[in-house]
Structure 1
Amino acid sequence: MVNLTATLGALISANHILHYHSVLDAMGHVSVRNPLNNGTYFLALQMGPAVVSGRQDIGEYLVESSEPVNGTVGGYAERYIHGEILKRYPDVNAVVHSHAEDVLPYTVVGGLGLEPVYHMAGFLGPQTPTFDIAATPPYQDPLTPQDMLISTPLLGALLASALGTNASRPTSPQHRAVLQRGHGFVVVAGGIEEAVDYAYYAASNARVLTTAVLLARAVGGEVRRLSAGEMRGAADMDAWIAFKPWRQWVWEVERSGVYVNELGGG
């Protein structure tokens, strides 16, 4: 039997871990599909990830509309990122939205893709797509606030579509990550542990790639990306080994003295 308390405890830990490692700032968020009802999902209320501590800090929303259920109030305006991705891809059960500064340059510099350069980032694949909200019809409406937020179901659906569709498995996205021009990035996964892993290593790969590009320019060298085969193999490896860093990350935040998780770390 699925333990909902353990799922919510893991969601709280995910918020803490990604804040601890500077992947989430005060505005980032993580969601998980309800394991007892795939028609709803859980997302922290309008608060920084570091201070999420118990069931009272977590809202529940309908996947179909991202409308709150069970008296949820005070939710994120950008919950449509999560709801529309979960609606479009039944195989996705967890979503992370981040504003990590290590990744942001790759959202605004043309011709510089966030390609994987070491094995822990093979899941990124050969070309991480970039979603530019300014190019969408609803954002070009003069009545739409120019705040770059995914604050409507339509904008959420357009962002979700940027992940593409897996040709051999239409219930899954083609990409595990999408960049948002001048905003941040989103990663999707089959579970919380895997989503945290992807978010952490997307930011880590950005740091490594930036250093490699600068070093290559300084010495006249060339940055060597992973081959297509290496990306596939590394992605398969990373998917099944996500439990290993997860255990360490939970251990770190539980002993940091900074965070409170009333439900246990998962």
Structure 2
Amino acid sequence: MAASNQSDDTKLHQMQHDLISACHILHHHHILDAFGHISFRHPLKDDVFVMSRNMAPGTVTSPTDLVEYSIKNAEPLDPAAPRGFLERYIHSECYKKHSAVRSVVHSHSEAVVPYTISGVPLRACFHMAGFLGNKVPVWDIINAQKPDDISDLLVRNKRLGASLAAAFGSHGGKEGHPGSNVALMRGHGFTILSTSIQDCVMKAIYTEKNATIQTTALLQRATSPSGSPPICYLSEKEIHDTTWSIAEASHRPWALWLREVERSEIYENLA
């Protein structure tokens, strides 16, 4: 029993360490600034998720900065826990709706926001972002709001979080998996769902990179001579095959990004 508990403690400690590193990596790559957050589903308690207290991601430092929350209601397990993020309902409701999801990122990426308001679909443009598919769903909070809700576009309660979680759809062949890994949020940003912290970070970074590439292509297309060929997005087969093949190499960018933040004087990870 003691050996089992030690193994369980080691697994949780590693995920705490990874979560702090993920906060630093996402800040380093400008996916998160003073705002935004990442979480993971507790490895030992499936009805619990872990995220930092209400603080800038780049300043998260130790396990004392992390809080355990109930997926049922997004309330901290410890009533004396430090103040948490207002939008933790994004995380609780996505974990509740999609049982296979192990990590969630919420970002306000300025490269992605235009695709939440322009009516132009965000689509997979290059092989590193095949997971985006042919059209990323756009969730509009106004469709879930009630007249007395505060209209600041923040996911302030379970009802709004549940509406966002539903926007990801369901995977036809994999129970508990969302139909899309990404959902855009009108005038706000985007949310990523994945099966690990590392993969969630990679998808967040390459979602932003894809948005930048697509915007560049659209601008070039707008100034091209009449009759020029349309933008060549990834085909359905390319989307399927790149999604699988790039996922197989997710360890490579994580190792690089980890080295970058570990050697930076800005970040400190005491977990």
Tell me what 2:262 maps to: 254
- Choose the corresponding residue for 1:17, options 12, 25, 37: 25
For residues 248 and 16 of structure 2, the distance between their equivalents in structure 1, rounded to whole angstroms, comes to 21
Tell me what 2:97 maps to: 88
- Choose the corresponding residue for 2:189, options 172, 179, 184: 184
* Residue 37 of structure 1: how far off its partner (Å): 1.1
Tell me what 1:200 maps to: 205
* Residue 240 of structure 1: how far off its partner (Å): 2.0
- SS state at 1:43 partner: strand
Q: Which runs of 5+ in 1 are unaligned?
A: none
1:51 and 1:259 in contact (8 A); partners too: yes
Deviation larger for 14-23 or 218-227? 218-227
1:123 and 1:238 in contact (8 A); partners too: no
In the TM superposition, what are the counterparts of 1:1-266 in structure 2 within 5 Å?
A: 1-2=7-8, 3-70=11-78, 71-110=80-119, 112-136=120-144, 139-141=145-147, 143-220=148-225, 221=228, 222-263=230-271
> Which deviations, in whole Å up to 9, do the C-alpha atoms of 1:141-199 show, x marking residues without a partner?
1x211111101011000000000011112311000000000000001100000000000
Tell me what 2:4 maps to: none
> Which deviations, in whole Å up to 9, do the C-alpha atoms of 1:5-28 show, x marking residues without a partner?
110000001100000000112111
Deviation larger for 72-81 or 62-71? 62-71
Q: Taking every aligned residue pair, what percent have the same amino acid on both sides?
A: 38
TM-score, normalization by structure 2: 0.93
Q: Which runs of 5+ in 2 are unaligned?
A: 1-6
- SS state at 1:219 partner: coil
Deviation larger for 163-172 or 189-198? 163-172
For residues 147 and 72 of structure 1, the distance between their equivalents in structure 2, rounded to whole angstroms, comes to 26
* Residue 256 of structure 1: how far off its partner (Å): 1.5
- SS state at 1:126 partner: coil
Computing the radius of gyration from Cα coordinates, the structure with the larger value is 2
- SS state at 1:95 partner: strand
